[in-house]
Structure 1
Amino acid sequence: MADRISGGAEEVSAVVPIEEEQVAPSGSDVPTPQERKMSWQNLRRHDSLYLESRKLHGRDHSEDDKKKWSVILQLAFQSIGVVYGDIGTSPLYVYAGIFPEGIKHEDDVLGAMSLIFYTLTLLPVIKYVFIVLRANDNGDGGTFALYSLICRYAKVGLIPNAEMEDGEVSNYQLNLPNRRQKRASRIQSALENSHFAKVSLLFATMLGTAMVIGDGVLTPCISVLSAVGGITEATSAMTEGRIVWASVVILVFLFMVQRLGTDKVGYTFAPIIFIWFAFIATIGVYNFFKYDPTVIKALNPAYIIYYFQRNKKNAWISLGGVVLCITGTEALFADVGHFSVRSIQLSMSLVTYPALICAYAGQSSFLRKHSDLVSHTFYKSTPGSLYWPMFVVAVLASIIASQAMISGTFSIIQQSLSLGCFPRVKVVHTSAKHEGQVYVPEINYLLMLACVCITLVFKNTTNIGNAYGIAVVFVMTLTSSFLVLIMVMIWKTHILLVITYVVIIGSVELVYLSSVLYKFDQGGYLPLAFAAVLMTIMYVWNSVFRKKYFYELNHKISPEMFNEMVSTTSFRRLPGMAFFYTELVQGIPPIIKHYVEHVPALQSVLVFVTIKSLPVSKVPADERFLFRRVKAKEIDVFRCVVRYGYTEVRAEHELFEKILLERLEEFEGDRRALCNDDGRVEEDEEDGNGFGGVAKAWKQGVVHFIGETEVVAKPGAGFGDRIMINYAYTFLKRNLRETDQVFEIPHKRMLKVGMTYEL
């Protein structure tokens, strides 16, 4: 069992002021070796990783951008099974959602088809495939990718843990146009100088994240219920209750196979979805020519105007059904990290989009002759000889339909976890071949439980469809808001193009949003309630996380104070090396003072390790570690910041420890060479510590100190803070994974140090 030392809150007499953030702008000059030597004495007076840091240049990543076509086609095929199950199965229920009370006029079908055609073309294809996918963060997408781009360009982060060296990471650089417009600078300054703007950006990011997770809950429910419900066309023995329980069994099976990983699931599901697209496209073309080829007139957008003139308010309400044809579109962006931009563009443009247009055109032709069958359009328009094969494929496709949003949910949970916006959960990397493919066990089972409950409670697709539309359009609107900021600040897009985007795409999304909100009391409240719960959890965790960081920052220990602590006659120096994990990137955390006061002994080499996430998707392995030597008399003390991107999963502990120690030895060797070239004798060497202590201490054994801090609201705190800190945060912390479980540290070499912070 791991040992634990507990204690009360510590009040450090000398409070160190918060140091100003130092972030190197993109394209800043890197100091030369000569400049490093000249700045050596000045450096030692500051607690910074700059200049003295061990800087290793990363490998050339241009090869990643030049994937062979064989790999791109392979990923494009996999993406069919993972990304498009949701949007691909939308023909099961779209027309029933548009005309819940039946078709009143024969030309209403043309208006609906015209709406579907232009909605599919404008949002999934033009907006996402050709615009939003360009805003990927080194190959990764989703709400956090957009947020990270903004954070890298403007200082909008709420935690002051950035160093100048972060801007030197190769993936951190932004490819900015040479011409910087005043408009972008003004917006950047406004964001950086407004705390409200910073909080609003983080709030919007959390809201988008919560809504995408809501999609991951609603997609399986509506898709599986719609497909299984088709059995009523063949037999009346399948009652609503039996359909619901059959759907529940299928949902449980779906979530149980998630542990296999996106790679295996993609290869398994891709052929099925490909067959599904072939079926709906072929049947669509068949119905188009059999019933009414004149529906091609729907390409004329004037039929949309006529549709609204005839139906007025009912036409506006029906937009909530039209929006169901683009469900799962956010998966194009959220799942791009599982594949690649080019593979998503190919699979959408060459397979998914044409198949969907053919399917909806065929259903429109069928409805022109059979308007009374609109509630069961999909199965009624399927030729009798193909009913059973189509039913089997539809059920299989509906099982797969939820895969896109489930995969996207895992990705954004990992991203929010890395940025301190979600409680600790285990993230498993499921593919050795492709980065970004992850599985989160706790979230998987919670999603399964939520899906089963919703299916059992709602029992049909009508109210679920109303809820689904709100989640879809909310996420799209938030994505557009972030994209406009990126277009103005980072891409430096011409103002006329920005206005065009806002007027066309932005206005369309707002109209759809107004329509789906109209059905708030008919199931539309579900995603908002779900998002409210998730955002409460994220807000509580992030707020206390920041309060803890500022507490440690204000109470950090200076090297001088540390020397006083270890210079007492009672202090003992132990053989070996100790890793002390802390959130701080600068200074010595206050918990070390608490530990030394109770146990006046430390290993001969002490390394303060900070696991830090940068606002970038990936950090090259050779640029991951930053080191600094802290001046201390009795023991060798080092500061190490280990930087990860928000989409990266840490390597297993033994490998991580080995690499860290190797990098530390390299740093010591380079530092010694720099001192010799400068003609000076290092003061620490005069004290007898020397440069060989790292290797020797490593062989003598390594122990890991984990700071397990308890938090309580300080005396005089407001009612809200007391509830959030003493109850909500404490409940989350005690019911989720411990720090050592997340870091995968062996208990035999671990020592937990407890301390209470009054926040």
Structure 2
Amino acid sequence: MVQEYSGWFLAWLALQSTGVIYGDIGTSPLYVYSSTFSSNPSYDDLVGALSIIIWTLTLIVTVKYVCIVLRADDDGEGGTFAVYSLLSRYARIGGQDPNTARAIKLERYLSTDMKPTNKGVRNFLEGSRASKAILKIVGVVGVALIMADGVLTPAQSVLGSIQGLKVVAPNISTGTIIGVTCAILILLFLIQPFGTSKLGTTYAPVVIIWLMFNLCFGIYNLVKFDHTVLKAFSPYFAGYYFVRNGTDGWRSLGGILLAFTGVEALFADLGAFSRRAIQLSWICFAYPCLLFAYIGQAAYISKDVTQTAYSNPFFNTVPPGMLYPSLVIAILATVVASQAMITSSFQLLSQVMRLSYFPHIKMIHTSKYFHGQIYIPMANWLLMIGTVIVTAVYNNTTSLGNAYGVCVVMVTFITTCMISLVALIIWRLHFTIVLAFFIVFGTLDGLYLSSVLTKVPQGAWFTLLLAFILSTIFILWRYGKEQQWKAENTDRFQPGQLMKKNENGQFRLTDAFGGAIVTNISGIGIFFDKAGDLVPLVYANFVRKFEASPAVSIFFHMRHLPTPSIPEAQRYIISRTSIPSCYRVIVRSGYMDDIITADLARMLVDQITLYITSNQGRVSLANPVNIENSAPDPDMDARIGAELLALQNAQSQQTVYIVGKEQMRIAPGTNIVRKILLGVFLWIRENARSKIVGLNIPMEQLVEVGFVKEI
């Protein structure tokens, strides 16, 4: 559900996005020139590098991401996996969880509404198993790369800021720097439970002041030292840089790309903010501030008589008297720079959980105003441990820098490929327009990617290895879930296929399930149903095992919606089933609604009572579609009275909550590769969070019914 904001809410959200998203990309002026040049650059090289920076920020960040990529959201969510999810709603490229398939809105276009080339691309994707697998893997790898970068970015940014203390304290030891960095990192992760909204609002003044410093310093240096660097706005100087430097110029792209590290978080964090908020904050504020920062630094370096300004481009170019204020705000800005990747990790993990690529772990919505802002405790602590370990092992920004940037460029290239498919299949743009987009941005991404891959032996292998491990876990879990769905599908049937009434008026199991008479157990049985239609697996196994059914059975299903709360009048969907005294209750809930409480049984009975006595309940009891046009039923009140009495009697006897405990085992005869894959999946599944952990109901009334399925 996409949220739209305007007025003060939009301004507030834009403020938050500034505090969260631009801490990473906004602190790049600290080290871009020093990472690009190993010695004082000539004027031509300086202008050439500046031209590349200007056009990279303009084309990759502003045009590609802010103006184009942000429009490829999946119900307000961003990131490569959101793009894959969006594609799967317009083309049959991925299987769906049968428990949630009916809640997903499919929007496939008719063939007659598509151009032949666009339709051909869609048909190829749908007809090729290899293309489906590649798309799935690419989407997952994009998520894994960003999350791997999420481990590295906090370490890089905070360690870089603390190392900056050597400017005023040259004798500070490496051990002290590492210790202070780890302490700050731990504090950074400890405050994550406050939520994106509070953190973004708190961090925003720091980032705003930092960017304003860069803007003002840039203008000052431009006016005072060398305004001729403004000719870098001509792309000619970017091209001439490569002509003049050849291979060395290409290799230097590994440093220049640091100017846009964090752009992948800009898209991944879309769910926490909104497209308009991000566009507003970037185009109106962050973009011009960064342009002037790099232009001003170049103006100073071009006239620097010491020929050392490039080695510490920000602090060496600050105006007189501003060193210490700049140092303080720089440290604060780099500390909060980590928030972009931390928030994006939460957003992306929620997406892979929703689409069954990862076990469901606890997720907390942190704002009742902005629906996409979440906090995931387990992910937070794992990220904290990872960043502290990385900081201690790498212990300096130079070695970390070798591992930095590879993930960013790989994600931007993956995004270019997937957005091209979105443009063809969903936006239905002409093939030539899409081809032009792919050539321009694919070439830019390819240049940076080929350059940065030379860093793999020097440290980038770490992030690639971490991304590979995460991708393997995601794909393995999805594979196991698909096998589980196939196994469960054999037990998915209508109530009439489970039991029927015999000639004596008794209900018995159908012949397919043994044909035994089903006896009544006193009380109410509330069966938790994860699908919301057909017969719950737990009820089918309960009846088959015990050949009995509660006097009143309730199939209870929670349908979570991405909104804070659902009004009481719209919350409940109740219906009768063909099983006697059996009701299906679907509860539509928002993330702020507290539904599963100790009063759950009373609430369900109250709602069923209202349903029985309502016109809707009368229609269901009378069978005809329109009770007003059917013959009067003089026994209707008596039948309703009997039904209410049976419900009250059952409630007065006992209430039992019944959940399924599904055990899975590998079917005999499974080949060794499949057996290993499924074995790992089952191990993860057995050690994942139990479903009863989050149930706030009386434990003495809870019963688990175990059953075994072969996969």
Match of 1:107, SS state, is: helix
243-252 vs 557-566, which deviates more?
557-566
Partner of 2:82: 145
Tell me the distance in 1 between the aligned counterparts of 2:427 and 2:22: 29
Contact 1:176 1:490 in 2 (8 A): no
Partner of 1:398: 334
Deviation at 1:603, TM superposition (A): 2.6
Partner of 2:659: 706
Contact 2:368 2:592 in 1 (8 A): no
User: Counterpart amino acid of 1:474?
Assistant: M
Partner of 1:445: 381
1:465 counterpart = 2:401: yes
Q: Note the aligned Cα RMSD (angstroms).
A: 3.4
Partner of 1:571: 519
Structure 1 residues 415-435: Cα deviation after superposition (integer angstroms, max 9, x where no partner): 211111111210011112221
1:97 counterpart = 2:35: yes
1:365 counterpart = 2:270: no
Structure 1 residues 232-282: Cα deviation after superposition (integer angstroms, max 9, x where no partner): 111222122322221111111101100110111111111111111111111
User: Counterpart amino acid of 2:671?
Assistant: G
Contact 1:138 1:617 in 2 (8 A): no
1:126 counterpart = 2:63: yes
Partner of 2:430: 494
Structure 2 alignment gaps of length 5 or more = 500-507, 620-624
Contact 1:424 1:742 in 2 (8 A): no
Which of 581, 586, 589 pairs up with 2:529?
A: 581
Contact 2:410 2:449 in 1 (8 A): yes
Tell me the distance in 2 between the aligned counterparts of 1:628 and 1:193: 40
1:679 counterpart = 2:634: no
Contact 1:653 1:745 in 2 (8 A): no
Length-normalised TM-score, structure 1: 0.82
Deviation at 1:386, TM superposition (A): 1.4
Match of 2:55, SS state, is: helix
User: Counterpart amino acid of 1:263?
Assistant: S
Mapping of residues 379-394 of structure 1, within 5 Å: 379-394=315-330
Match of 1:131, SS state, is: helix
Deviation at 1:561, TM superposition (A): 4.7
User: Counterpart amino acid of 1:122?
Assistant: L
Tell me the distance in 2 between the aligned counterparts of 1:203 and 1:426: 25
Contact 2:522 2:650 in 1 (8 A): no
User: Counterpart amino acid of 1:270?
Assistant: A
Structure 1 residues 349-397: Cα deviation after superposition (integer angstroms, max 9, x where no partner): 1110011111111111222234434232222222352111111111111
Cα 1:542/1:585, change in 2 over 3 Å:
farther
Mapping of residues 306-705 of structure 1, within 5 Å: 306-370=240-304, 371-563=307-499, 564-565=508-509, 568-569=516-517, 571-582=519-530, 584=531, 586-609=533-556, 629-632=576-579, 634-638=580-584, 649=591, 651-654=593-596, 669=614, 670=616, 672-673=618-619, 674=625, 676-677=627-628, 679=630, 692=644, 696=648, 700=652, 703-705=656-658
Cα 1:618/1:548, change in 2 over 3 Å:
farther
1:86 counterpart = 2:20: no
Partner of 2:185: 251
Tell me the distance in 2 between the aligned counterparts of 1:687 and 1:478: 66
Which of 669, 692, 695 pairs up with 1:716?
A: 669
Tell me the distance in 2 between the aligned counterparts of 1:548 and 1:610: 20
Tell me the distance in 2 between the aligned counterparts of 1:560 and 1:613: 28
Which of 695, 703, 709 pairs up with 1:751?
A: 703
Cα 1:619/1:258, change in 2 over 3 Å:
closer
Contact 2:19 2:201 in 1 (8 A): yes
Cα 1:164/1:266, change in 2 over 3 Å:
closer
Tell me the distance in 2 between the aligned counterparts of 1:198 and 1:479: 16
Deviation at 1:442, TM superposition (A): 0.3
Deviation at 1:114, TM superposition (A): 0.7
Mapping of residues 35-184 of structure 1, within 5 Å: 65=4, 67-99=5-37, 101-103=38-40, 105-159=42-96, 161=98, 166=103, 179-184=113-118
Structure 1 residues 492-531: Cα deviation after superposition (integer angstroms, max 9, x where no partner): 1122321221111122112211111121111111221111
Cα 1:565/1:134, change in 2 over 3 Å:
same
Tell me the distance in 1 between the aligned counterparts of 2:169 and 2:434: 54
Contact 1:579 1:702 in 2 (8 A): no
Tell me the distance in 2 between the aligned counterparts of 1:386 and 1:199: 55
Tell me the distance in 1 between the aligned counterparts of 2:150 and 2:631: 62
User: Counterpart amino acid of 2:551?
Assistant: S
Which of 152, 161, 165 pairs up with 1:218?
A: 152
Tell me the distance in 2 between the aligned counterparts of 1:743 and 1:528: 39
Structure 1 alignment gaps of length 5 or more = 1-60
Cα 1:732/1:338, change in 2 over 3 Å:
same
1:287 counterpart = 2:221: yes
Match of 1:519, SS state, is: helix
Deviation at 1:486, TM superposition (A): 1.3
User: Counterpart amino acid of 2:403?
Assistant: A
Structure 1 residues 589-643: Cα deviation after superposition (integer angstroms, max 9, x where no partner): 55544433444443333344455789x99998888876664322x44253x6677
User: Counterpart amino acid of 1:68?
Assistant: S
Deviation at 1:166, TM superposition (A): 4.6
Contact 2:518 2:549 in 1 (8 A): no
Percent sequence identity over aligned pairs = 33
Cα 1:163/1:540, change in 2 over 3 Å:
closer
Cα 1:176/1:661, change in 2 over 3 Å:
farther
Cα 1:106/1:222, change in 2 over 3 Å:
same
Cα 1:373/1:730, change in 2 over 3 Å:
same
User: Counterpart amino acid of 1:574?
Assistant: S
Contact 1:145 1:617 in 2 (8 A): no
User: Counterpart amino acid of 2:27?
Assistant: T
Deviation at 1:105, TM superposition (A): 3.2
User: Counterpart amino acid of 2:43?
Assistant: E
Length-normalised TM-score, structure 2: 0.87
Partner of 2:123: 189
Structure 1 residues 141-182: Cα deviation after superposition (integer angstroms, max 9, x where no partner): 222332232122123331362899657x6xx66999995323
Cα 1:745/1:509, change in 2 over 3 Å:
farther
Contact 1:473 1:512 in 2 (8 A): yes
Contact 1:559 1:631 in 2 (8 A): yes
1:205 counterpart = 2:139: yes
User: Counterpart amino acid of 1:676?
Assistant: I
Contact 2:524 2:651 in 1 (8 A): yes
Partner of 2:233: 299
Tell me the distance in 2 between the aligned counterparts of 1:694 and 1:164: 35
Contact 1:411 1:438 in 2 (8 A): yes
Cα 1:610/1:742, change in 2 over 3 Å:
same
Aligned length, in residue pairs? 684
Tell me the distance in 2 between the aligned counterparts of 1:618 and 1:432: 5
370-379 vs 498-507, which deviates more?
370-379
Q: Name the structure, 1 or 2, with higher relative contact order (CA <8 Å, separation 6+).
A: 1
Match of 1:753, SS state, is: strand
Deviation at 1:747, TM superposition (A): 3.1
Mapping of residues 269-288 of structure 1, within 5 Å: 269-288=203-222
Cα 1:493/1:202, change in 2 over 3 Å:
same
Deviation at 1:666, TM superposition (A): 7.3
Deviation at 1:194, TM superposition (A): 3.2
